[in-house]
Structure 1
Amino acid sequence: MSAACSDIYASAPLRQLLADEARDLLPELQRCTGDHGLLVSAAMQDRPPALPLLSCWTHLRLAGDRYVGDLHARVDEPLPFVDDAFELVILRHALEASALPQPMLEEGARVLSPGGLLVLSGVHPLSLWTPWMVWHGRGQSLRLHMPLQVGEWLRRHAMQVECVRRVGHAVPGGGGMPWLTEAIGGGYVLLARKRRQAVTPIRLVPRALRAPADAGLAPGARRNTACAAAMNEDRR
């Protein structure tokens, strides 16, 4: 491989990182249910995970300023999907390969259904992978984002971050002990869920009811009145 790879995501270290991410996320993804999932990836050979409880996938790949794959669209335009269309949205290294990361994240939140899961992965800027990415990704517009920053973007759009964790080897193509992976792994995964809209109960306003003008006496009162009338009649 040349020093500057034409597609850095086709390199052996990043293919291994993608595999590590998929293995790490599998337990959470297998619990996802619904009819539609969306995968947006920077890797050409990436494929949606096989999930038994999710029916249909839409797969998009970033190619410069365009999406290609199951449909073709421009990155600087809204995704051609209605709101709340997907129960699961996966952005695999898509933010770091996009010139418009915040609008992409906003679109991912928009098309996610309430209660749905958004999964995001990328190379962690505070890792030994950063200089490797800079060197081997020359000629490609790559921007690494801190998970904390991504989490703040998500919270502005009714998203609740459930967890963030490090994955992958500490150095590109290297090995390491499991505790090193958890502490200084080269990649990270972030899971966030779209908040369900709270149902606001209708507040009932009490209203006074007017009694009819010709309301009769209560049954007991009528009996007492009748007895008094009878006694008066007898006295006469």
Structure 2
Amino acid sequence: MSQDFHDRLRSLVLAGSCVAFVATPTLGALIGEGEQTRRYDTVITPPDYAFAVWGPIFAGCLASTVVQCLPGGRSDPVSRRAGWPLIGAYAVNTAWSLAAQRDRFELTPYLLPVATACAAVAHIRLQGTRPRTGWASATPASTGLLLGWTALASTVNIAAGAVAAGTDRTAPRTVTASAIGLLAASAAVAAGVAVSRRGGTTLALASAWGLLTTAATRGRPRSIRLAAAAGATAIAAARSFAARTRP
């Protein structure tokens, strides 16, 4: 089969997966009860207003998909390198949303890390890929946003899965484990930001937003707020380092 056929096929699947990724949580909130995340609140869940970050994520991913599906974008190295991993990220995020809407939270701790891994693969592949057009730069930016938020959300979902299984979210052991998980996720994001040539700024912004809003939530344990603030500081330091050392 020709490369042109593969490009067209990838673009078609990418468009379908991205539409499902955006439409599933949006329509669920409009015509149903939406994602029942409040039932399994954790000490590291960001406040409600922090989830407004999905607006820029959805807009960026849609714009990136449109660019990749245009005749000139289908054959761009950016699309060829990152297209299939992004399809995986969009598809698994859609599955996560469906599980959350159907109150199947026992599945979410497994689904979101997979979606995050797919986004991470796309982000890594984009580091060594030079886009042919300026519009193609939308893909590293939107991928960074998606990865930055879902990396943090994966940790939250693991904690939510434990709560769904009956764990006391305010027990000292649970709070300690949650703080450690938050610091580990922050360290991973900071490392990614430090070595990123493309999409590092949006990667940092998405994660730091979630961490800072958590740190500012008075109802959370002090250790969680301190861990969130420390994580955001580490990510900011990594972005500063990257800005100084990379052209």
Same-fold call, TM cutoff 0.5: no
Tell me which protein shows more strand as a share of its residues. 1
Output the TM-score relative to the length of structure 1: 0.33
Which structure would you say has the larger RCO, counting Cα contacts within 8 Å and 6 or more residues apart? Answer: 2
Tell me which protein shows more helix as a share of its residues. 2
Output the TM-score relative to the length of structure 2: 0.32
